Structures are given as structure tokens and as C-alpha cells.
């Protein structure tokens, strides 16, 4: 995935996503000072406008307020970023463009939009997407990921109706990025969590001092691999960073060919989602044959949704239920023992599944009360 970029005249573009404005600015400053020819485009979103700041090692080049003309703020960032990056890459003064997204934004949508414009005839045909990367606070990762703080409570929301938890935004950034950068050397458990969450074939760098503009620019972003990492089927049941006694992180894969029983799923939903967990995957339900459903939980929140027909969303795979859960064994101290959620999750998962006999009921399910309509929408007849 990472190779040397030797395209003469083609300017590399790297995309930065964080949930911490201080880390974002620290990373940008270090990269601007790290190598000549680097220019950064930083976006911040406010209620009715977008602020674009362009800076290089010499200081601020531009500081512009752009009115927001529609409700899609991620669209507004892309609409401003593409022509800005195109202009900077043609300027001749710079050899590498950094795009710093608004705090809490996911990197995939921006990288996807930029990559589409790098094709022949596109506005960014003279550039290439080199790396999408995220910078995380090694000291607060566990609290940020598993705590119940929302983005609104921390003043990090992208829109007035952004109801995401901090953990949801942070997990998505880690899972989608080509490169995960820590603020400092992480603890064994934090190290294990990062390696369990980040996608297959990605890299990790510990410490902002180890972040290099040259390395970012020499990499090659793969849009197809990024899409696979972000797909609900892309959750990796990794073993983490190795057998380190101090690492209390764990991964649990819950998998079955059987669908969930709609009523028992509701009965067990709290057991399956409560506690400090990051969980994502796909599932199907007996009363919605052929439908793929999303399971996405972090920061004390759980989202389930209708993804569409299984044959389209998860092409090439038979309907199944698979949820990958990442957590930390909680040492409550002397005499209190260690709290490990894995057995509770296994029991709740298997209790919520249909039996083979119940699955055999077939179309009879469609005559029963639709208990999941508030979450998945009314089922098709």
C-alpha cells in the first residue's frame, strides 16, 4: 500500500483528520517546518460559514471566510478544498499539499472526493492523494473512545444536529486512515487498542516527532482499500500488538450464519451494547430476509440501520451475522478482580439469534408484529 511516489510534476496531497484541535495544529506546524515546499489548507466550520486558512513555513498565506450555501457541510469543505488545492498545486511554490479537515470530520469522504478529481481530465489531475492520516491523543484514547461524552459537549460538533459521541468520531478516523499517529509513546493497552482498531495494511507512528512530510508524500493512498476498511464487512478481528502482559485490550468476533430473532434482539440489545466497547459489523434479521443491516457502536452509543439488499451491499457473501467487538479488561483493583465483558457478550449474542427451527418458519415472519420498525424502518411486504 505504501510505495515511493516518483511521479515528476505530480503534487502529493495528504489528508489529516483529528478530534483534537491542539493536536491538529501541532501536527501541521511540525510538518510545515519539517520539509520545504509544504503548504497546508485548514478548514473550520461555523454556523453559517467555512473558514479556510492556507499557511506554509513562512506563515499565513490566506485567511478566508466562505459563506455556506447549503446544509451539506462535508460537501462545502470538498467544494472549497478541490479548487483551492488545484490552485496551490499549480502555483509552483509548493511540492506537497496538506488538507486539514474540520475537527471530528472523517477522512474517507474527503479522500474519496479528492481521488475522484485526480483522474485524467479532473480538476486535480496534476495531483495524487498520498496519505490519509489521523493524530490521536495517546493519554486520553481510552476515555475518548469508551466514554460517553458527545461532540456537542466538547464543542467539536460539525453541525448543530451532530449527535455523535466522541468515541464514534474517533473510532471512524482510526479505522479509515492509512496512517495512525500518536501524540506520544502509548501505554501497552493503548497500543493494543490502536492495533486492533486500525485497518489491515495500515501503518502506525508513535510520537509527533516521528511524523515526516517526506514519508507522507512518498506514500500512495488506495481508494479501494480505504473503502473496504470503512465497509461494515471490513472490521478486522485482529489479535492486537502481541502477547504483552500489561496490554488489557481484547477483540471478540461474534459470528453466525443465523439471523437475529427480532424480539430477542431487543431484549438483549443493552447486554450487547453497554459498557466500554467499540463494535461494528453486519447482521440480518429473520423478519427481513435478504436485508443487510449495520451494527455500529462506540462511546456508549449504538447505531443500527438498514443498509439495503444483501446482494448489493455485501455482494459475494451469504447473509450472516458478524460483529467485531474491541474492549479493555477493567482491573478494578485489589479484591475487586478484573471485569471482562466477553462472556456476557457471547451469551447475549447467542441468546438473540434464531434457532434453525425458527428460521425455517420462512414467510410466516412477515405476518408477525414488526418490532424493529422504529430502528430499521417498516419492513417490505
What length is written for the chain?
Answer: 381
For CA atoms 135, 141, 146, 147, the dihedral sign is negative
My answer on whether 194 and 266 are in the same domain is: no
Residue 241 placed within a domain: no
Q: Do residues 113 and 51 share a domain?
A: yes
CA angle (311 as vertex; 310, 316 as ends), nearest 5: 110
Q: What is the pLDDT tens value at each position of the chain, 381 positions in all?
A: 333 334 448 999 999 999 999 999 999 999 999 988 999 999 998 888 899 999 999 999 999 999 887 667 778 888 899 999 999 999 999 999 999 999 999 999 999 999 999 999 999 999 999 999 999 999 999 999 999 999 999 999 988 888 999 999 999 999 999 999 999 999 999 999 999 999 888 999 999 999 999 999 999 999 999 999 999 888 888 765 556 778 999 999 999 999 999 999 999 999 999 888 999 999 999 988 889 999 999 988 899 999 999 999 988 899 999 999 999 987 654 444 456 789 999 999 999 999 999 988 776 777 888 889 999 988 875
Are residues 206 and 333 located together in one domain of the fold? no
Amino acid 7: pLDDT:
42
Counting Cα atoms < 13 Å in the Cβ hemisphere of 278 gives 33
Q: What is the pLDDT of residue 224?
A: 93
Say yes or no: 69 and 35 in one domain.
yes
Q: Is residue 54 part of a domain?
A: yes
- Domain region containing 83: 11-230
Q: Are 107 and 237 in contact (CB under 8 A)?
A: no
Identify whether residues 30 and 175 lie together within a single domain.
yes
pLDDT of residue 338: 53
Q: What is the pLDDT of residues 86-108, one digit of tens each?
A: 999 999 999 999 999 999 999 99
Residues 163 and 263 in one domain: no
Chain centroid, CA 165 distance in Å: 13
Please, are residues 285 and 293 in contact by the beta-carbon 8 Å criterion?
A: yes
Residue 161 burial (CB count, 10 A)? 8
> Looking at the domain assignment, is residue 2 inside a domain?
no
What pLDDT is recorded for position 71? 65
Q: Give the side-chain half-sphere CA count within 13 A for 321.
A: 19
Q: What are phi and psi of 56, to 5 degrees?
A: -135, -165
In tens, the pLDDT along 114-139 reads 999 999 999 999 999 999 999 999 99
Residue 381 lies in a domain: no
Structure-derived torsion over alpha carbons of residues 252, 17, 122, 229, reported in degrees to the nearest 10: 0
pTM of the model: 0.92
Number of domains in the chain: 2
Residue 49: inside a domain: yes
Nearest to 318 by CA among 274, 263, 257: 257
- Determine the pLDDT at residue 61: 97
Query: What pLDDT is attached to residue 68?
Result: 83
* Any domain includes 240: no
Where does a domain end: 230, 262, 288? 230
Same domain, 97 and 198: yes
Other C-beta atoms within 10 Å of 324: how many?
Answer: 22
**Domain for residue 5, yes or no?**
no
Same domain assignment for residues 221 and 295: no
Domain boundary among 172, 199, 230: 230
Task: Name the strand (E) or helix (H) holding 373.
Answer: helix 373-376
Give which of 61, 57, 13, 12 is closest to 33, Cα–Cα: 57
Asked if 69 and 200 sit in the same domain, the reply is: yes
* Distance between CA atoms of residues 286 and 262, nearest Å: 7
Q: What are phi and psi of 57, to 5 degrees?
A: -60, -25
Position 257 scores a pLDDT of: 96
Specify the pLDDT at position 5: 39
- Look at residues 230, 257, 288 and tell me which one is the last residue of a structural domain: 230
- The β-bridge relationship of strands 127-136 and 11-18 is parallel
Q: Are residues 75 and 156 in the same domain?
A: yes
Please give the pLDDT value at position 234: 87
Q: Which CATH number do you get for residue 121?
A: 3.40.50.300
Same domain, 65 and 196: yes
Residue 4 falls inside a structural domain: no
Q: Is residue 224 domain-shared with residue 255, that is, in the same domain? A: no
C-alpha distances out from residue 247 to 109, 243, 244, 277, Å:
33, 8, 5, 16
CATH of the domain at 332: 3.30.1220.10
Amino acid at each position: 500500500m505504501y510505495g515511493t511516489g516518483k511521479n515528476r510534476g505530480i503534487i502529493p496531497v495528504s489528508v489529516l483528520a483529528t478530534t483534537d484541535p491542539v493536536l491538529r495544529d501541532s501536527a501541521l506546524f511540525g510538518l510545515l517546518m519539517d520539509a520545504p515546499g509544504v503548504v497546508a489548507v485548514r478548514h473550520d466550520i461555523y454556523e453559517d460559514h467555512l473558514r479556510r486558512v492556507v499557511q506554509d513555513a513562512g506563515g499565513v498565506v490566506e485567511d478566508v471566510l466562505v459563506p455556506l450555501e447549503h446544509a451539506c457541510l462535508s460537501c462545502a469543505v470538498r467544494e472549497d478544498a478541490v479548487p483551492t488545492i488545484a490552485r496551490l498545486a499549480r502555483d509552483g511554490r509548493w511540492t506537497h499539499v496538506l488538507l486539514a479537515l474540520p475537527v471530528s470530520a472523517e477522512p474517507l469522504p474527503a479522500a474519496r472526493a479528492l481521488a475522484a478529481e485526480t483522474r485524467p481530465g479532473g480538476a486535480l489531475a496534476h495531483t495524487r492523494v498520498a496519505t490519509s492520516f489521523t493524530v490521536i491523543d495517546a493519554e486520553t484514547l481510552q476515555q475518548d473512545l469508551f466514554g460517553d461524552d458527545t461532540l456537542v459537549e466538547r464543542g467539536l460538533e460539525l453541525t448543530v444536529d451532530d449527535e455523535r459521541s466522541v468515541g464514534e468520531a474517533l473510532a471512524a478516523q482510526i479505522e479509515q486512515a492509512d496512517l495512525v499517529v500518536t501524540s506520544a509513546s502509548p501505554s501497552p493497552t493503548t497500543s493494543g487498542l490502536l492495533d486492533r482498531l486500525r485497518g489491515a495494511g495500515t501503518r502506525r507512528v508513535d510520537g509527533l516527532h516521528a511524523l515526516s512530510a517526506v514519508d507522507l508524500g512518498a506514500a500512495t493512498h488506495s481508494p479501494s482499500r480505504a473503502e473496504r476498511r470503512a465497509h461494515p464487512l471490513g472490521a478486522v478481528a485482529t489479535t492486537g500488538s502481541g502477547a504483552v502482559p500489561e496490554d488489557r485490550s481484547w477483540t471478540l468476533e461474534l459470528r453466525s450464519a443465523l439471523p437475529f430473532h427480532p424480539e430477542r434482539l431487543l431484549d438483549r440489545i443493552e447486554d450487547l451494547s453497554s459498557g466500554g466497547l467499540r463494535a461494528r459489523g453486519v447482521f440480518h434479521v429473520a423478519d427481513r430476509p435478504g436485508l443487510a443491516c449495520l451494527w455500529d457502536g462506540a462511546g456508549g452509543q449504538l447505531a443500527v440501520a438498514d443498509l439495503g439488499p444483501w446482494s448489493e451491499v455485501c455482494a459475494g457473501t451469504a447473509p450472516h451475522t458478524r460483529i467485531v467487538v474491541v474492549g479493555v479488561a477493567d482491573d478494578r483493583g485489589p479484591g475487586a478482580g478484573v471485569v471482562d465483558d466477553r462472556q456476557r457478550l457471547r451469551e447475549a449474542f447467542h441468546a438473540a439469534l434464531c434457532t434453525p427451527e425458527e428460521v425455517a418458519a420462512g414467510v410466516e415472519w412477515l405476518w408477525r408484529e414488526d418490532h424493529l420498525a422504529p430502528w430499521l424502518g417498516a419492513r417490505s411486504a
